[in-house]
Amino acid sequence: MSTRSPARLIVALAVAAVLAIFLLYTAIAGKSTPELSPSQLEAHPGFASVVGVVVGPVSGDSHTAGGLRFGLRDRGAAKSVVVPVVYHGDSPPPLFKATREVVVTGTYAHGRIDGTGILTKCPSKYTAQSKA
């Protein structure tokens, strides 16, 4: 009878099983969402999380048919293309405003993002300008 500890076999089988489960899940069943910047949308229409900087003017109301309207450009690129966003849903988070970095989730089609979600950052990560 083998006197080898079953621990190694258990560990090896368990590791293999876990690997199989999550590789299968993320490859087949998992719904991953592309994370893009506004300038990449033209080449990748469809549902995505778009990371960018809010460009004003911000107008409208997310609860109305017309939605909340604003622009979104690439981070760190003041001259990049500005993609229009029409957002419907809950009021945007308190920290949402022009010039702030946000993540807009929605569908890009015909040159426009139909947004369904807006994510802003934790308040401590926005540092305002000091008052002179």
Partner 1 sequence: MADLGRAALVVSFGLALYALVAGGFAAHLNRRRLANSARNALVACFFSTLVAAVVLASALLRHDFSFSYVAAHTNRTLPSIYALTAFWGGQEGSLLLWLLVLTGYGALAVAVNRRLLRDLVAWVVPVLGGIATFFSFMLVAVASPFDVQTAPVDGAGLTPSLQNPYMVAHPPMLYLGYVGLSIPFAFAAGAMLSGNTDERWIVATRRWTLAAWTFLGFGQLLGAHWAYVEVGWGGYYAWDPVENAALMPWLAATAFLHSVMIQERKGMLKVWNMVLVALAFELSIFGTFLTRSGVVNSIHSFAQSSVGGWFLAFVVISSVFSVALILWRLPLLQARTKLESALSREATFLYNNLLLVALCLTILWGVLFPIVTELVKGESRTIGRPYYDFFLRAFGLPLLLLMGIGPLIAWRRTSVRALVRSIAWPIAAAVATGVILIIAGAGSSRAGLIAYTFSAFVIAAIVVELVRGTRATGSLFRLVGRNRRRYGGYIVHFAIVLLAIGVAGSSAYGTNVERHLRPGQATTVGAYHLVYEGVDPIRNDPNRTGQYAVLRVSGPWSGTLRTGNVTYTGFDETDNDVGIKTDWLRAQDLYVIADFQKGSNVVFFNVLVKPLVNLIWVAGIVFLLGAVVAMWPDAREQRRLVLRLAPARA
Q: Which residues bind to partner 1, rule: CB under 8 A? A: 3-7, 10-11, 14-15, 18, 21-22, 25-26, 30-36, 44, 49, 51, 61, 63-64, 75-76, 90-91, 94-95, 97, 101, 103, 119-132
The β-bridge partners of 87 are: 68, 115
Backbone CA torsion sign across 47, 110, 97, 100? positive
Q: In this complex, which beta carbon is closest to partner 1, that of residue 111 or of residue 126?
A: 126
Dihedral of alpha carbons 80, 100, 120, 111, sign: negative
Q: How far is the CB of 7 from partner 1 (least distance, A)?
A: 4
CA distance 70 to 72: 7
Nearest CB to partner 1, comparing residues 76 and 110: 76
3-class state of residue 83 by DSSP: strand
Distance CA 93, CA 117 (A): 10
Nearest distance in Å: CB 1, partner 1: 13
Q: Which is nearer to partner 1, 14 or 109 (CB)?
A: 14
Asked if residues 120 and 95 have their Cβ atoms less than 8 Å apart, the reply is yes
Closest distance to partner 1 from the beta carbon of 28 (Å): 12
CB of 88 to partner 1, least distance (A): 12
Nearer residue to partner 1 within complex by CB, 86 or 95: 95
